[in-house]
Amino acid sequence: MMSWRTWIAGLLTAVVAGCGGGGGSAGSPIMGTTPAPTPSDLTLVLSSATINNSGSQTVEATVTAVDANRNALEGVQVTISVDAGATVVVSGDAGNKTGPDGRVLGTIGIGSDRTQRTITVTAAAGSITKTAELTVIDAGSTTPTAADMVLTLSALSLPNSGTQTITATLTAVDENRNAVPNIPVIFAVDNGATAKVNGTVTDADGKITAAVGIGDDKTNRLITVTATSGALVKTERFQIIGSQIKTTLLPSALGPSQVGKIQYKLADVNGNPVPNKSIVITGANGTQTTGVSDVNGDFEYTYTAPAEPGELIIRAAALGVQAQSNVLVLAGQGEIPPVTIKIQSASVSANPSVVPVNLGGSTNNQASIRALFLSEQNAPVKNIRVRFDLGGDPQSIGGTFTAGTTMLYSDANGVATTSYIPGSRFSPTDGVTIRACWDYGDFAVGSCPNSTFTTLTVAADALSVSIGTNNLIADDSTGVKYVNRYVVQVVDSSGNAVADVEVRASLDLLTYWKGVWVPGLERWEQVVTATCDNEDLNRNGVAEEYTNGWKEDVNDSANLTTGRPALEPRKADVALSFEGSTKTSASGSVVLRIEYPQNVGSWDVFNLVVSASGVAGTEGRANFVGVLPVPASIVNRLDLTPAFRVSPYGVEESPKVSPPEGTYSSRTAPVLCTNPD
């Protein structure tokens, strides 16, 4: 029998002579591209804003390349340049490439020019350029000082959402009110605020700025911003605003000595709950009760009505604001009179409109429900009767309301509120119906004289998993393997990313190809002579012989040459690993990588399977089937011989057989090759 090495030598001789190829057909090469690291941004920081003209001093320039998530990026080509006769010596992990910390350093000197001037330092990587100015000063100069400073704020109030900031701008001037650069300035803020300063000295326009935020305290309060430079001190103040205390009376009217409740919700300017904040409630006879809001910003106050009819005023104070509730204490069968003002607009809303499920009896996840009633003149209408329900719950999602079936009354702002608490079932998008039943007077439980609706989504912790790739191929650090990356994404029923989900992955080699790559007119062409399924039928890594006489090593490759394994393809031809954590990030994703020797590229068909723990529904698994890709940059170069030119599994055509039933678990019978060459 002719060996496959003799066969390929003959084939290649025929190709060079232009006499045509041997048996088999040209397959479509599986190719990718070799990536070059591309940063999303650069930062350029100088160790000093000034350098003296003695010629002995240097300043360090630190350039950091980062990706879209502000993570340091290794292997980025960075250039650092200077003008005005200055000099720079660049040092990086590999010349001017960023190291593992994403940095390249440059040491800047003034050169032979001893004049006082401004040096522009420029850092560039691809299309991204950053500059900084370095001022050459006299060696005998002292730290510059300003005659005066002007401090301004971009606004006089800041909403307490936590996402916005106020810009504090400090301008340093001399005796003639001209802007002065390089003035050192220190910013400070009080009352729990935060300040992010953009430098340590004033810029060429004599300015330095700080972005001032509320910190982690959403209380309405006054913030003082202080800027100091030497003996000069300037202050400005602004107000943090937006805190709310929402109240729900259960009920709004009750008899003498009866027990009532008030549900309080502490919220910020956007209606988001504010947890773990003190609330002080002053009830009848000035009696005070102190509590703390829970994770949903809620606190429930229980009281006993006075023995005499009248109006009971209850006040609550929290987050720097106050709220007053007026409870009617009615004698006998008294009731609040029906409303006589016609309602022009009735609406109900949910915030947030997507709320997670509650597991294990928890009530932590809630949505605030708000009904609003307006008259023809768009004025709020008080004392409209309201009950909230799920409108028949057509999706059988379930859940409860904090007000239960109690009839609520709209307040002076025309608003009636409660909270919806989901159960353990998740819903389709907008799969929960919230109904506000209302009327001008009292109505019985179960009836709904008038109604208005909204919808929300109850999201599972995780619902669906997917996997994909950018098809970029890289060399590993050894230069003898290819690396291909894949991203796994996990989302909930609203399509929102789910963080902290454990992901598991496995890789199976389904099929191997025999054949060779041959030179074409413009690039290498793949010739596949045989397609063979994996011999390891039960994937246990053991070449088994069954009682019915069938053996997995159908091509008798075991030790055909010393050390050759019995089962093909070899499980270790491809290695699978995670890049970083096995749990999903804030974006709901994890990154996998497969590595394989370059000579194996293009000759194996693989199946990458991923699963996510805790995923509800049927979509907790996903897979990706592909051929081990090889770089197009190699395939397109006829002057190079690819490492993957010859299949590691042989080049000859092969007869094929299928094992008997009972020896395999796949849906269809595997097709195995019997020729090992």
Three-state DSSP class for residue 470: strand
User: Which residues are paired to 70 by β-bridges?
Assistant: none
CATH 2.60.40.1930 domain locations along the chain: 244-329
What's residue 616's pLDDT? 59
Token digits of residue 40: 């999303």
Specify the range with the lowest mean pLDDT, choosing from 92-106, 163-177, 231-245, 261-275: 92-106
- Highest mean pLDDT pick, 61-65, 449-453, 547-551, 560-564: 449-453
- With a cut of 90, say whether residue 459 has pLDDT above it: no
> For the residues 153-160, what does the mean pLDDT come to?
95
- With a cut of 60, say whether residue 577 has pLDDT above it: yes
Beta pairing class for 310-318 and 232-241: unpaired
- With a cut of 50, say whether residue 609 has pLDDT above it: yes
CATH 2.60.40.1930 correct for 244-329: yes
pLDDT tier at 496 (50, 70, 90 boundaries)?
confident
- With a cut of 70, say whether residue 16 has pLDDT above it: no
Percent of the chain predicted with pLDDT > 70:
92
What's residue 333's pLDDT? 60
What's residue 591's pLDDT? 96
Task: State the sign of the Cα–Cα–Cα–Cα dihedral 568, 571, 575, 578.
Answer: positive
668-677 pLDDT, tens digit each: 889 999 999 8
- Please tell me which residue, 271 or 22, carries the higher pLDDT value: 271
What's residue 13's pLDDT? 37
Name the CATH superfamily, with its identifier, for domain 343-459: Immunoglobulins (2.60.40.10)
CATH 2.60.40.10 domain locations along the chain: 41-137, 148-241, 343-459
What's residue 334's pLDDT? 62
Three-state DSSP class for residue 8: helix
CA dihedral (403, 409, 414, 420) in degrees, to 10, reads 10
- With a cut of 90, say whether residue 530 has pLDDT above it: yes
177-193 pLDDT, tens digit each: 999 999 999 999 999 99
- With a cut of 80, say whether residue 200 has pLDDT above it: yes
- Please tell me which residue, 172 or 328, carries the higher pLDDT value: 172
What's residue 24's pLDDT? 41
pLDDT tier at 3 (50, 70, 90 boundaries)?
very low
What's residue 553's pLDDT? 81
Specify the range with the lowest mean pLDDT, choosing from 273-277, 295-299, 479-483, 548-552: 548-552
420-440 pLDDT, tens digit each: 999 988 888 889 999 999 999
What's residue 651's pLDDT? 93
648-668 pLDDT, tens digit each: 999 999 998 888 887 777 778
- With a cut of 90, say whether residue 401 has pLDDT above it: yes
- Please tell me which residue, 342 or 6, carries the higher pLDDT value: 342
CATH 3.40.50.300 correct for 148-241: no
Q: How far is CA 115 from CA 34, 85, 107, 146, 147, in A?
A: 48, 10, 19, 23, 26
- With a cut of 90, say whether residue 14 has pLDDT above it: no
587-596 pLDDT, tens digit each: 999 999 999 9
pLDDT tier at 418 (50, 70, 90 boundaries)?
very high
Amino acid at 672: L
Residues 227 and 170 sit within 8 Å (Cβ to Cβ): yes
84-102 pLDDT, tens digit each: 999 999 886 566 888 888 8
Number of helices and strands in the chain (H, E): 2, 46
Burial of 284 (0-12, 13-18, 19+ CB in 10 A): middle
What's residue 492's pLDDT? 80
Specify the range with the lowest mean pLDDT, choosing from 162-171, 225-234, 332-341, 612-621: 612-621
Cα-Cα end-to-end distance for the chain: 10
> For the residues 564-581, what does the mean pLDDT come to?
90
> For the residues 53-69, what does the mean pLDDT come to?
86
Percent of the chain predicted with pLDDT > 90:
57
Q: CA 591, CA 284: separation in Å to the nearest integer?
A: 61
Specify the range with the lowest mean pLDDT, choosing from 281-295, 390-404, 519-533, 658-672: 658-672
What's residue 461's pLDDT? 63
Three-state DSSP class for residue 25: strand
Mean pLDDT of the chain: 87
pLDDT tier at 32 (50, 70, 90 boundaries)?
low
| CB proximity list for 166: less than 8 A, separation 6 or greater | 153, 154, 155, 158, 211, 212, 238
What's residue 94's pLDDT? 61
The candidate with the shortest Cα–Cα distance to 369, out of 347, 384, 385, is 347
| CB proximity list for 55: less than 8 A, separation 6 or greater | 109, 110, 112, 114
- With a cut of 80, say whether residue 19 has pLDDT above it: no
What's residue 262's pLDDT? 93
Task: State the sign of the Cα–Cα–Cα–Cα dihedral 578, 582, 586, 590.
Answer: positive
What's residue 4's pLDDT? 46
- With a cut of 90, say whether residue 235 has pLDDT above it: yes
- With a cut of 70, say whether residue 636 has pLDDT above it: yes
What's residue 462's pLDDT? 64
What's residue 35's pLDDT? 61
Q: CA 92, CA 74: separation in Å to the nearest integer?
A: 11
Specify whether the backbone of 496 is left (phi greater than 0), alpha (psi in -120 to 50) or beta: beta
The CATH-assigned architecture of domain 41-137 is Sandwich (2.60)
What's residue 30's pLDDT? 56
Task: State the sign of the Cα–Cα–Cα–Cα dihedral 561, 562, 567, 573.
Answer: negative
